[in-house]
Structure 1
Amino acid sequence: MQSDVIGKLSEIVIDTPDVVGLSAFYRDLAGFEVVRTDDDWVTTTSPEGWKVAFQLAPNLVAPRWPDPAYPQQMHLDFVTADLPAAIERAELLGATRLPGGGETFSVFADPSGHPFCLSRRDGVDGVGLADVMIDSPDGATLARFYAELLGMKSAYEGPEGAMISAGGQPDVCFQNVASYTAPRWPDPAYPQQYHLDVEVADADEGERQVLALGATRLPGGGEDFRVFADPVGHPFCLVW
């Protein structure tokens, strides 16, 4: 079911100790174009029109996939028609092959340690960004929270998780994780790794609505953003 839109997914934000280096990695892998650079932040746009930002986290505790004590929290899924060539390119650019995968997909860590997946899909030119995947102890329930938040529709729900989608926005997927360990913002020992920025027209009304859905207000914020946790602990920001 699609609700009235509370907000729109503005950008996917990735923590890294090297904003320039990691943004360059994804530029060279999947054609991300840099549109803004600051000392602690780089914003890029993918060829599909998604905004992906890189936020400075000097003391980042990187994921150690598949160790549940150092979880990924979120990851990006990429697709390509030529999987062997994409695998070779990812490794040449500095990605590390991780456990998992099969004939149709492979798992890597980017140079900051964040896992990502490369999957085979016919008809894709180069390497394309397919979706953002969010870890959850109950993907279907978390998908319903984000569907309400973003005004998106359920596109899939099954034993491995769920997916929501809407025209003009990235697909957002939710992966069931049995040994899920939540972020504990702002504790650096339990980092967020990623977060989503959600654009709203009215900050106070947006806050009222997300709290009613089950979000929690977190420390932090500024003149144009407020920080919250979703029902399983992933931080996200309302921005305006």
Structure 2
Amino acid sequence: MSVARFRSVVLDCPDPLALAGFYAAVGGGTPHAEDDDWVVLQVPDGPRLAFQRAEGLTPPEWPRADRNSQQFHVDFDAGSTWQEMDAAHEKVLALGARPLDLEDREKKDFLVYADPAGHPFCLCRIDRP
């Protein structure tokens, strides 16, 4: 038996509503601002993401393990074909994502980006039955 029930993943950021809007455009859902410092996004059939204001946030450096490392990242299923991945790539760039690692995608089956606040996330190609 578990000790507690999972509630949400919280991302620190300078503008909670803007970052929640970015993730809503990528993964779906509607951001709900509880106040200027806290916004919640329930991703359909997915996790609850929350965004907390953190003035002066220093975004993680990718890939770093020694200091200011990513600590975690969000993965998105972007389809099973490279055509779907390419379309998702163009859409996240239009939303304000910044590429971090687009090399060797055929070997890795994922592409790495930074969201507008600098947090790493991946678009992943998965095989579907």
TMscore range, shorter length:
0.7 to 0.9
Kindly provide the CA deviation profile for residues 111-170 of structure 1, in whole angstroms up to 9, marking residues without a partner as x: 0000001011255xxxxxxxxxxxxxxxxxxxxxxxxxxxxxxxxxxxxxxxxxxxxxxx
Structure 2 spans left out of the alignment, 5+ residues? none
* Corresponding residue to 2:97 among 77, 95, 98: 95
Instruction: Provide the TM-score with structure 2 as the length reference.
Output: 0.86
Q: How far is the alpha carbon of 1:76 from its aligned partner?
A: 0.6
- Give distance in 2, aligned partners of 1:31 and 1:22: 13
CA RMSD across the alignment: 1.5
- Give distance in 2, aligned partners of 1:33 and 1:121: 25
Letter in 2 for 1:67: R
Aligned to 1:16: 13
Kindly provide the CA deviation profile for residues 184-215 of structure 1, in whole angstroms up to 9, marking residues without a partner as x: xxxxxxxxxxxxxxxxxxxxxxxxxxxxxxxx
Matches within 5 A, 1:190-205: none
Instruction: Decide whether aligned partners of structure 1 residues 32 and 21 sit closer, same or farther in structure 2, where only a CA change above 3 A counts.
Output: same
Aligned to 2:121: 116
Q: How far is the alpha carbon of 1:36 from its aligned partner?
A: 3.7
Q: How far is the alpha carbon of 1:27 from its aligned partner?
A: 1.0
- Residue pair 1:105, 1:117 contacting (<8 A) in 2 also: yes
Q: Which of structures 1 and 2 has the bigger CA Rg?
A: 1
Identical aligned residues as a percent: 41
Aligned to 2:85: 83
* Corresponding residue to 2:52 among 51, 55, 67: 55
- Give distance in 1, aligned partners of 2:88 and 2:117: 19
Q: How far is the alpha carbon of 1:100 from its aligned partner?
A: 5.5
Structure 1 spans left out of the alignment, 5+ residues? 124-240
- Give distance in 2, aligned partners of 1:71 and 1:113: 12
After the TM superposition, which of the residue ranges 29-38 and 85-94 deviates more from structure 2?
A: 29-38
- Give distance in 2, aligned partners of 1:53 and 1:31: 14
Matches within 5 A, 1:35-54: 35-54=32-51
- Residue pair 1:80, 1:122 contacting (<8 A) in 2 also: no
Letter in 2 for 1:111: P
- Give distance in 1, aligned partners of 2:88 and 2:42: 20
Residue 14 of structure 1 aligns to a residue whose secondary structure is strand
| Segments ≥4 residues shifted beyond 2 Å | none
Aligned to 1:71: 69
Residue 111 of structure 1 aligns to a residue whose secondary structure is coil
- Give distance in 2, aligned partners of 1:94 and 1:36: 21
Instruction: Decide whether aligned partners of structure 1 residues 43 and 73 sit closer, same or farther in structure 2, where only a CA change above 3 A counts.
Output: same
Instruction: Provide the TM-score with structure 1 as the length reference.
Output: 0.47
Aligned residues: 120
Aligned to 1:105: 110
